[in-house]
Amino acid sequence: MKIATYNVNGVNGRLDLLLRWLHEAEPDAVILQELKAPDANFPAKAIAAAGYGAVWHGQKSWNGVAILARGQKPHLTRKGLPGEPEDEQSRYVEAIVDGVVIGGLYLPNGNPYPGPKFDYKLRWFQRLQAYAAELLELEVPVVLVGDYNVMPTELDVYKPERWTNDALFRVEVREAFRDLVGQGWTDALRELHPGERIYTFWDYFRNAYARDAGLRLDHFLLSPDLAARLRKAEVDKHVRGWEHTSDHAPVWIELSEKPSKKRKLK
DNA sequence: ATGACCTCCCGTGGAGGA
């Protein structure tokens, strides 16, 4: 099973590229972030014509997340994280695809630091931690995947010293990520590529992609049973080089099939 | 230290992004 995440930076403005990449990559499930479209404007028909069912949690202008599944409609289990009912930003959607609980998320950016946006980011992270702990207790296959807006370590930043006071790299945010992973999750890309420089985002500014001045912001956190099934974890870096592309590249993992449930006969 | 670039909005520049 191939699961991908892609911050499209505008699902309608980027629809042609999304369809091109879907056709090329053929993932079984996809989590999209930054739809930048209200529910009514989600391009469900074009995505269905490409062979994908979808559930989505949109919002006018900003944010917005969706889950796509090839040849089926994802079974929606949640929109929004618990813990702050007055939070109206569309940043979490959850669905089951082929027996895997997929929590698709778009963590707040948090800039500028310090300030209310940074505080909101930390609160959102705390809510994610609390909910993630509940998911782990269920002991079912879960992946928490999306744009975390965090570079977890210095290896994940082209020039770490430039980012120390940025909300994406502040020590509080890195600690929050580390604490989350410490619950028992596996960072899929790091698990298979320890010590390797891997980026998933390149700024539009300053020719960042050509200089490979990137950040690793998009992460897959796997529950223990999914971690045991992890086979590949890669970035479709070339997509960032396409014309009119998003500033993020698609990232994907490949899981082996479920272990068979054969039992020994007594 | 700043702004570079890109998206969306009912806009004709501003806000948000990272």
| Nearest partner of A97 among A212, A196, A1, A225, judged by Cα | A1
Q: Which two tokens stand for residue A100?
A: 């895997």
Q: What is the pLDDT of residue A258?
A: 78
CA A160 to chain centre: 22
Residue A41 falls within a domain, yes or no?
A: yes
Say yes or no to pLDDT of A37 above 80. yes
Residue A266 falls within a domain, yes or no?
A: no
pTM: 0.96
Give the number of other CB atoms < 10 A from CB of residue A153. Answer: 15
Say yes or no to pLDDT of A266 above 70. no
Range 119-178, chain A: CB under 7 Å to any strand B atom: 147, 149, 168
Say yes or no to pLDDT of A259 above 80. no
Asked if strand B comes closer than 7 Å to A39 Cβ, the answer is: no
Asked if strand B comes closer than 7 Å to A41 Cβ, the answer is: yes
**CA atoms in the 13 A half-sphere facing the CB of A230:** 24
With a pLDDT cut of 70, the percent of chain A lying above it is 97
Say yes or no to pLDDT of A262 above 80. no
State the average pLDDT for chain A.
95
Say yes or no to pLDDT of A265 above 60. no
Residue A208 falls within a domain, yes or no?
A: yes
Q: What is the pLDDT of residue A260?
A: 57
Residue A171 falls within a domain, yes or no?
A: yes
Mean pLDDT of A184-209: 96
Q: Where are the beta strands (DSSP E) in A85-138?
A: 92-97, 100-106
Residue A263 falls within a domain, yes or no?
A: no
Length of chain A equals: 266
The model's pLDDT over A60-97, given as tens digits with 9 standing for 90+, comes to: 999 999 999 999 999 999 999 999 999 999 999 999 99
Residue A265 falls within a domain, yes or no?
A: no
Q: What is the pLDDT of residue A214?
A: 95
Q: What is the pLDDT of residue A261?
A: 59
Mean pLDDT of A148-167: 94
Say yes or no to pLDDT of A263 above 70. no
CATH of the domain at A148: 3.60.10.10
The model's pLDDT over A94-116, given as tens digits with 9 standing for 90+, comes to: 999 999 999 999 999 999 999 99
Q: What is the pLDDT of residue A247?
A: 96
Residue A91 falls within a domain, yes or no?
A: yes
Does the annotation place A225 within a ligand binding site?
A: no
Residue A35: phi and psi, rounded to 5, are: -60, -40
Domain count of the fold of chain A: 1
Asked if strand B comes closer than 7 Å to A117 Cβ, the answer is: yes
Residue A21 falls within a domain, yes or no?
A: yes
Please list the active-site residues of A: 106, 147, 248
In whole angstroms, what is the distance from residue A166 CA to residue A145 CA?
Answer: 22
Q: How many helices (H) and strands (E) does chain A have?
A: 7, 14
Structural domain for A63, as ranges: 2-255
Mean pLDDT of A165-192: 97
Q: What is the pLDDT of residue A206?
A: 86
Does the annotation place A248 within a ligand binding site?
A: yes
The model's pLDDT over A206-240, given as tens digits with 9 standing for 90+, comes to: 889 999 999 999 999 999 999 999 999 999 999 99
